[in-house]
Chains A and B, each alone.
Chain A
């Protein structure tokens, strides 16, 4: 509640969020499912980090993992650290964690249609979050809720605050979700595919709203998406995930100018381009190996055009190849493969 005041004086250049070798496993009937298997990245204050990867690569599990929202069982934190402002939040008490959730860490979900409770008004749902984080006065909370709805550009917020979720469109609901996530001025906003379920024009509006809010609130954002176009427009840094692991990390411009991992290259080829002559979407052939299979080598090897015997025998470590750039590939740096 008084978290901001009591936070230790930290080095302003230290990362806001540092995820180190995070492992989240699910125990299912078919075996241990390594949904997130040693993921590391960090987010600077005020910066936007994109996490991209195909469906099922562990993006949502990573984001829920950061919020400590993985249901246990079936999930389990099998290792690693999540340092928020220098403290490993996997080790703090549940009570302290609740203070962070919805307080200094906000989250937006993929499904605006179902992520709000249908039986309460959106105002009540925002007010509930304010009250959970120390705003005792109901009137003040309501006023703040209306301000937030105005900030996210929901039309006529004074009346919309008393609407139920089903009275709003998908885009409006996602605006309400964003208002809810930002109401306690978080330092970190985790947005798990905030636009995937929306139609294209609404997607653009929500993304521009998020960029706008980033300027105004200074919050750092972890933006999860499988849309590289969104990444190019919105993010400062990018993490590319494949089968529960990070395969490449880079500042956004460098990633697009010189992708180093064959999987990243494949993803880029899969982006539909308006100027492209073909109407066919390039996709990477093959499919992701099931995560409960413990492969000896690189997990991408079976789909990789550059794979060698060495790739299939030993897993490539994530190694630094430049400032802020790392890649997990034995063949990197790759110069001319685009040909």
Chain B
């Protein structure tokens, strides 16, 4: 178990380096001059020039890269080009809401997807199966912004009067919980479908296996056969799928946070890009990369918990 984690951490080093390089190149490639952004549109050319020297932008690119890596490794992500706040402080404030949103979305959508998929597999070919699969396909094909807007329109405005702007307070407060509902619903909606479909096909696959016949021959109830010997084994590929969906989910978080003005990393990055705040954008991308690595690490740990054959 520990060795699995260490293996994975070592494997993520090259990924991290790649992300750092990408973040650096991003700054080089985007149109617009960082010094000009910091100085403001009305600043005189010599002020901009002085700033450029101060920011090290006149140095050769390799020197700049080295300085950048040094800063990154000491945890110095620089200051926002717009607000002049520490980027780390901005990220720290935004990370909590994003983690909350992700957890709130997964906590309902993954169990629901698994339950729907299992149900569909057990009732294969029936009306129930077809209805569940139709819902999943709809969930997979509707873009998240559309689902979000529908949620705002119907649950927020017309039917339930649920709040749809901002976070409304800490998660454990009543108001915070109410504010969480619509964003978590919209983001989770993109996960239910893939999880349900994967669970269905995986359960169907497992139920054909010999050990399921053994379970029946032991005299277990059909319920135990399906849950303990079908679903339990079928979860292994489902967990893998959830890991693969992590990137999709992070992307979805950006859209969701923007729709619901959720004060997380996603909204931060969109705002930063729109205002050419490159340092903040860079920091946020780094956080996303770390998040992606973390999710996959959790998936690997879960995977080895679920499958004794990969345990060492």
Contacts and interface: CB of A to CB of B under 8 A. Distances in A.
A128 interface: yes
Contact of A119 (B217, B218, B221, B232): B232
Interface string B208-235: 0111011111111100100011001100
Nearest to B209: A114
A111 B211 CA distance: 10
B175 interface: no
Q: List 6 tightest A-B contacts by C-beta distance, closest first.
A: A102-B219, A102-B218, A101-B219, A114-B210, A117-B211, A129-B218
A83 interface: no
A100 B214 contact: no
B309 interface: yes
A166 interface: yes
Contacts of A177: 214
Given A69-B213, A118-B309, A119-B307, A129 B219 contact: yes
Given A115-B213, A166-B308, A103 B233 contact: no
B19 interface: no
Given A99-B219, A101-B217, A118-B307, 16 more contacts: A102-B219, A106-B217, A109-B210, A109-B217, A114-B210, A115-B211, A115-B213, A116-B214, A117-B211, A117-B229, A119-B232, A119-B233, A125-B214, A129-B219, A164-B308, A164-B309
Interface residues of A, number: 29
A71 B233 CA distance: 20
Contacts of B224: 128, 132
Contacts of A64: 213
A83 B269 CA distance: 73
B306 interface: yes
A54 B81 CA distance: 81
A175 interface: no
A106 B216 CA distance: 11
Interface of B: 209-211, 213-221, 224, 228-229, 232-233, 236, 306-309
Given A119-B232, A119-B307, A69 B209 contact: no
The secondary-structure label for the interface of chain B is: helix
Contacts of B211: 114-118
B126 to A, nearest CB: 13
A67 interface: yes
Chain A CB within 10 Å — which of B209, B217, B306 has the most? B217
B217 A107 contact: yes
Contacts of A125: 214
B308 A132 contact: no
Given A118-B233, A119-B306, A132 B214 contact: no
A98 B221 contact: yes
7 contacts: A98-B220, A101-B219, A114-B211, A115-B210, A117-B211, A118-B307, A177-B214
Contacts of A181: 217
A109 B216 CA distance: 12
Contacts of B209: 114
A111 B210 contact: yes
A69 B219 contact: no
Contact of A132 (B210, B219, B309): B219
Contacts of A109: 210, 213-214, 217
Contact of B217 (A67, A118, A133): A67
Interface in A93-150: 98-103, 106-107, 109, 111, 114-119, 125, 128-129, 132-133
Contacts of A128: 218, 220, 224, 228
A180 interface: yes
B223 to A, nearest CB: 11
Contacts of B214: 109, 115-117, 125, 177, 180
A164 B216 CA distance: 20
Contacts of A69: 213, 216-217
A103 B218 CA distance: 7
A166 B309 contact: yes
A133 B221 CA distance: 11
Nearest to B215: A117
A107 B215 CA distance: 11
B308 to A, nearest CB: 4
Nearest to B220: A132
A100 B218 CA distance: 9
A100 B219 contact: yes
Interface in A67-94: 67, 69
Chain A CB within 10 Å — which of B215, B216, B218, B224 has the most? B218
Contacts of A118: 211, 233, 307-309
Nearest to B213: A69
A69 to B, nearest CB: 6
Nearest to A106: B217
Contact of B218 (A101, A111, A114, A164): A101
Nearest to A163: B308
Interface in A175-200: 177, 180-181
A101 B210 contact: no
Contacts of A103: 219
Contacts of B228: 128
A166 B307 CA distance: 11
A93 to B, nearest CB: 13
